[in-house]
């Protein structure tokens, strides 16, 4: 149902390369939203120590990394025809997304390396918060790099103003992707809750 909404806008004929835009941008929106929520959940977890917040952060991170990967794959695919290059080191958003990906991976690897649920939750929360603090610095660093370096002559990455039809499609895509995010996180959260419940039962029985 949710997916049907996502796919209908993609049928608007706007040119093959442009269509990627409707996946790339909403995926980026969800990728960053997911991490913002991880950071918030982490902060509140450290304050309240409620395990449910940790499970939510875990779920949001795993869903977020998938969306981030989508952004990083569609980004170069879109960039090559439009900018003439697969990767742009001056593009603040693209590089920030790359670092978001690095932090997601670090988060997931960290969780995988810790057995104890309490320790895992605490460490992940610290990384979640610090990771969120890093992104603005990456943003600023790349911005400084881009402005202080003579740029190759390239179309600026800022969005041209979109005709109404495309804008509507974009918003529908955004809504669709957000719904997808919620659906995936819910499913993942249920899995995490079940898994923890079983693990706890085993410990008590032992």
- Residues engaged in binding other proteins (CB under 8 A): 46, 51, 99, 102-103, 105-106, 109-110, 113-114, 117-119, 122-123, 125-127, 129-131, 133-134, 137-138, 140-141, 144-145, 148, 200-201, 203-204
Nearer to other proteins, 154 or 196 (CB): 196
Give me 75's structure tokens.
Answer: 């980004």
CB 108, min distance to other proteins, A: 10
Cβ pair 20, 78 in contact under 8 A: yes
Q: What are the percentages of helix, strand and coil residues in the chain, rounded to 5?
A: 85, 0, 15
Minimum CB separation from other proteins for residue 123, in Å?
Answer: 5
189 contact partners, CB below 8 Å, separation of at least 6: 55, 56, 59
Residue closer to other proteins, measured from CB, 19 or 52: 52
In terms of CB distance, is 140 or 162 closer to other proteins? 140
Whole-number Å distance between alpha carbons of 18 and 161: 14
Placement of tokens 């790349």 in the chain: 142
CB of 126 to other proteins, least distance (A): 5
């Amino acid at each position: 149902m949710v997916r049907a909404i996502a796919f209908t806008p993609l049928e608007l004929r706007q040119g093959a390369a442009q269509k990627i835009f409707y996946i790339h941008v909403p995926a980026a929106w969800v990728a960053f939203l997911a991490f913002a929520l991880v950071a918030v959940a982490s902060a509140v977890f450290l304050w309240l120590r409620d395990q449910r917040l940790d499970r939510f952060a875990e779920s949001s991170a795993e869903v977020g990394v998938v969306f981030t990967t989508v952004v990083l794959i569609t980004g170069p695919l879109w960039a090559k025809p439009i900018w003439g290059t697969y990767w742009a080191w001056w593009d603040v958003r693209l590089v920030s997304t790359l670092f978001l990906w690095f932090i997601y991976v670090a988060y997931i690897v960290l969780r995988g390396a810790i057995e104890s649920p309490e320790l895992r939750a605490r460490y992940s929360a610290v990384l979640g918060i610090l990771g969120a603090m890093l992104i603005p610095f990456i943003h600023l660093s790349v911005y400084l790099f881009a402005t202080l370096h003579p740029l190759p002559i390239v179309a600026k990455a800022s969005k041209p103003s979109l005709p109404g039809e495309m804008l509507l499609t974009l918003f529908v895509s955004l809504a669709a992707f957000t719904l997808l995010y919620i659906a995936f996180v819910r499913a993942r959260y249920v899995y995490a809750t079940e898994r923890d419940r079983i693990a706890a039962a085993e410990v008590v029985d032992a």
